[in-house]
Amino acid sequence: MNAILKLINEIRINNRKMKLSVLASSLVFYLILAIIPFFELLEYILNKFGIIEETISNVKVFDEKWTTIYFIIYFCYVSSKLLHMLHQISDLMYYNIKERPHLKLRILSFIYLIVILIITVTMIVSLTYFSYISNRFNIPIRFIISFLQFIFPLTWIIFLFIFLYKKIVPIPIKWQETLGIASITGFIIYTVLRLYQIIVFGYMLNRYKTVYGSYASLISLLVWLYLSCYIFLSGMVFLFMKKVKNKV
């Protein structure tokens, strides 16, 4: 127990030294810019599969095709900036490293984005479809589908963090260390997401509406994004701490 408390205190001190609250806030900014076009593209795909009937593009002044093209271009640009921001934050954490080429990082960020986007959209569409057809099956099959809806997002978050930690951190990190930190941070963020969904959106949103009005859902989303970014960056800090200790 003392070792755990000591570790938490070390992480807290290092988080404060590296101004992690500021770095997490800057990351949230690009996430917010990327969320709107991401959901537009997701709704467009779900509409093509016939799962939903209306998309954001249907209520726009512009033609649906041109609106979707605009969102694709905008999402690619903002998301590549988002991943590039992660590279810059990582470079701030890990000192005594060579400066990485800006153009190369932007190109790699775009490639990473395409890979992440394809897998994420495929997973979300699959889970949405499973949820849509689950009522057609008996109870054992429903239980299996519910379990898959739980384990798939958690597994994807962990593998996403492994990918980001390995590609973004500018120094070589062992796979065992990366897997351990990615599993811990991924599980914490997924747990926070589920608890936030149950507690805030299930019970407390009406109370928030008395304070924030129509912005209650947006404020709740911003808080969750900030917590998620802070936890994710804390994993990078922990990797940094282990690397420093190994060198000593």
Q: Per-residue pLDDT tens for 186-213?
A: 888 788 777 776 776 666 666 666 666 6
Whether the predicted pLDDT of 6 surpasses 60: yes
Label each residue of the chain as H, E or C.
CHHHHHHHHHHHHHHHHCCHHHHHHHHHHHHHHHHHHHHHHHHHHHHHCCCCCCCHHHHCCCCHHHHHHHHHHHHHHHHHHHHHHHHHHHHHHCCCCCCCCHHHHHHHHHHHHHHHHHHHHHHHHHHHHHHHHHHHCCHHHHHHHHHHHHHHHHHHHHHHHHHHHHHHCCCCCCHHHHHHHHHHHHHHHHHHHHHHHHHHHHHHHHHHHHHHHHHHHHHHHHHHHHHHHHHHHHHHHHHHHHHHHHHC
More confident site: 234 or 53: 234
What share of the chain has pLDDT > 90, as a percent?
A: 0
- pLDDT tens for each residue of 68-106: 677 677 777 776 777 777 777 776 666 555 666 666 777
- State the Cα–Cα distance between residues 46 and 129, nearest whole angstrom: 9
End-to-end alpha carbon distance in the chain: 25
pLDDT, tens digit, for every residue of 38-74?
667 667 766 666 665 555 545 454 456 676 677 677 7
pLDDT, the chain, mean:
71
Query: Taking a C-beta distance cutoff of 8 angstroms, is the pair 20, 237 a contact?
Result: yes
